[in-house]
A and B are shown apart, each in its own frame.
Chain A
Amino acid sequence: MASTEGCSLALSFIEDAPSAVDLAALVDTYSTLLFRIANSVLRSRTEAEDVVQDVFIRVLEHRLSLPAVRDMRVWLIRIAWNLALDRRRRKRPDQLDEKFAESLASATMPADTAMEEAQRFRSVLREIERLPKPERHVLLLSAIEELGTSEIAAVVRRSESAVRALLSRARARLRERLEDHPRLKEGGKV
């Protein structure tokens, strides 16, 4: 944490306007959350880290208006979410899933079952991509444990009840499609 303190000092020296917000503390508090949000959209660690960096660069650019931000957490999440979606538009969906599914399976499963699980994950990711956009967004945001319904509602600019409805619809649709999947019907083998 010594390095973080050094940067904090450097930032405070450079800041030429009084700001009540400690930027280094913001990075410490929110960078992991923002990384997970960007990673759920982009499915790439490096790109998700780039997004987090872009978020804080933007925060630095608008540091004079930071004291006016009412809910810093939601504000940062929304910036990260929008930046991730922007990046996502430049990529083909099938570019995302191969390595991501493998890395996800190998992180959560023993090696002997990881391959099979990776194939299942690929199918689930493909079906998530086929969901209607609002449902997909709510489902991805709900995966981040730290986010409550009210925060998700603020990020996607919908009411909490609408978010709950979208989430349950997304789960039901996804389950239904995976059950009907012709290649996945037989014992989970692809």
Chain B
Amino acid sequence: MRDPDRTIQNLLAGLRDAESSPGMHRRILDAMVTGQATAYRSRQLLYPAIAMSLACALAITIWVQHHRHIPPNLRSNTTNVDAVRTKPPQTVALPREPRRSTSRVLLRPMQTPGFPAPPLPLTGQEKLLLRLAHRNDVQDMTLLNPDVQAQQSAKATQQFQQFFGMDNDQMRSESE
């Protein structure tokens, strides 16, 4: 470039003398007025909204507190007008419930039995029997018969006696 200084000066002069569009002032002021009016209106609506939400929260709290202290049976009595009329007025001493901690209240549904009660788990022997029944092996099934078991037991005892040369009387005397 032949004369860079001059070009730089021209460019900087162009930046310096840049003119905004004629309506800029007006637009800015309008935007400020609009923005301010919106903020003012939203602030005016904000306080009633806060008051309403506080009132709702208070009402809900009172309702919850009231219903927590009256047991369900008494609550139903108070709603039934005829029952109130027929029954003589009597003072009910409400049993004071001890104050519960939040964690205990949360645990309560887990500890109470469900309805209907879930089936109890099978014992080891029951599981073994189930397995045998599912396998359907003839030999295993015959073993389950008490007569067969008794026969086998007698046979085993006999074999034992024969092997060691003992008779019943000897065995009894030894065991005594």
Contacts and interface: CB of A to CB of B under 8 A. Distances in A.
Contacts of B18: 35-36, 39-40, 45, 48
Interface string A3-46: 11001101100111000000110011001100110011000010
B37 A14 contact: yes
Interface of A is mostly: helix
A140 B15 CA distance: 8
A31 B16 CA distance: 14
A185 B1 CA distance: 5
Interface of B: 1-5, 7-8, 10-21, 24-33, 35-37, 39-40
Contact of B15 (A23, A40, A60): A40
16 contacts: A4-B26, A7-B26, A16-B40, A24-B29, A32-B20, A45-B21, A49-B24, A49-B27, A52-B24, A52-B28, A56-B28, A60-B32, A108-B10, A123-B1, A140-B15, A185-B1
B20 A7 contact: no
Contact of B11 (A11, A35, A45, A104): A104
B1 A125 contact: no
A143 B16 CA distance: 6
Nearest to A190: B1
A139 to B, nearest CB: 8
B24 A35 contact: yes
Interface residues of A, number: 54
Interface string A133-176: 00000011011110000000000000000000000000100110
B15 A188 contact: no
A3 B28 CA distance: 12
Contacts of B1: 120, 123, 178-179, 181, 184-185, 188
Contact of B12 (A10, A14, A143): A143
Contact of B35 (A40, A60, A175): A60
Contacts of B15: 36, 39-40, 104, 140, 143-144
B42 to A, nearest CB: 13
B28 A53 contact: yes
Nearest to A23: B32
Nearest to A48: B20
Contact of A27 (B17, B19, B29, B36): B29
A121 B123 CA distance: 94
B26 to A, nearest CB: 6
Given A57-B31, A123-B1, A125-B11, 20 more contacts: A4-B25, A14-B33, A28-B25, A31-B24, A35-B24, A36-B16, A45-B18, A48-B18, A57-B35, A60-B32, A105-B14, A107-B14, A117-B10, A124-B11, A143-B12, A144-B16, A171-B8, A178-B1, A184-B1, A188-B3
